[in-house]
């Protein structure tokens, strides 16, 4: 598990998490239980801190970073999609940041909100709970209904279960190491 101390700050990883060997977790990062951090993901808690709740998935190629002396809080059961860039202030519980989306500094993504793939949530924006935002800059498209929320919860459970079992199921069969 690639963990790096920075200026005396050390990452803290919860129980039953999976952090891919090509991911980087740096400095002031505190992660809850049953989290998944995919290959090539970066959580950079060097000059700001990052707190990640339980059962959150930071998918492959995602970059999370807080502003200088800032705090990025990522709630529980959050999905940060492949290749997303997250510099926001707060991603509340059960939110979804789509693949390739960008969340600017000091943005707040409400509980259960969904940022569509490729959307750009500009700095300081507050996305209301249980809404879908899309576009550049992102704007509210609709409210998330119960069926869509149930779908996202199933996906979140897949990643929480995967985090707990990935190490025992993954086997290197070639390459370095």
Is residue 78's pLDDT more than 70? yes
Higher per-residue confidence, 173 vs 136 = 136
In a domain, residue 19? The reply is yes
pLDDT at residue number 171? 87
In a domain, residue 8? The reply is yes
Is residue 10's pLDDT more than 70? yes
- What is the per-residue pLDDT across 14-42, written as a single tens digit (0 to 9) for each? 999 999 999 999 999 999 999 999 999 99
Q: Output the domain CATH number for residue 132.
A: 2.160.10.10
In a domain, residue 13? The reply is yes
In a domain, residue 144? The reply is yes
In a domain, residue 25? The reply is yes
What letter would DSSP give residue 14?
A: -
Element (H, E) at 168: helix 146-169
Element (H, E) at 119: none
Q: 70 vs 11, 26, 147, CA distance in Å?
A: 16, 15, 36
Percent of the chain at pLDDT > 70 equals: 98
Mean per-residue pLDDT over the chain, rounded: 94
In a domain, residue 174? The reply is no
In a domain, residue 66? The reply is yes
Q: Which domain holds residue 46?
A: 3-169
Is residue 162's pLDDT more than 70? yes
Pairing of strands 131-134, 139-143: antiparallel
Is residue 96's pLDDT more than 90? yes
Can you give the pTM of this predicted structure? 0.94
Into how many domains does the chain fold? 1
pLDDT at residue number 173? 86
DSSP 135-150: TTTTEEEEEPPHHHHH
- What is the per-residue pLDDT across 102-157, written as a single tens digit (0 to 9) for each? 999 999 999 999 999 999 999 999 999 999 999 999 999 999 999 988 988 888 88
> From the centroid of its chain, how far is CA 125?
18
In a domain, residue 177? The reply is no
| Residues 121 and 104: beta-carbon distance below 8 Å | yes
């Amino acid at each position: 598990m690639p963990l790096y101390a920075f200026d005396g700050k050390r990452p803290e990883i919860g129980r039953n998490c999976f952090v891919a060997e090509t991911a980087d977790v740096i400095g002031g990062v505190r992660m809850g239980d049953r989290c998944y951090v995919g290959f090539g993901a970066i959580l950079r808690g060097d000059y700001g801190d990052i707190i990640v709740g339980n059962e959150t998935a930071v998918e492959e190629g995602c970059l999370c970073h807080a502003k200088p002396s800032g705090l990025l809080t990522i709630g529980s059961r959050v999905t940060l999609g492949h290749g997303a860039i997250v510099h926001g202030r707060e991603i509340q519980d059960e939110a979804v940041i789509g693949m390739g989306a960008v969340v600017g500094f000091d943005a707040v993504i409400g509980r259960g909100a969904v940022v569509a793939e490729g959307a750009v949530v500009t700095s300081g924006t507050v996305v209301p709970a249980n809404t879908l935002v899309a576009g550049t800059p992102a704007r509210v498209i609709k409210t998330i209904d119960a069926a869509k929320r149930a779908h996202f919860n199933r996906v979140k459970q897949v990643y929480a279960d995967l985090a707990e079992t990935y190490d025992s199921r993954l086997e290197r069969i070639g390459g370095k190491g």
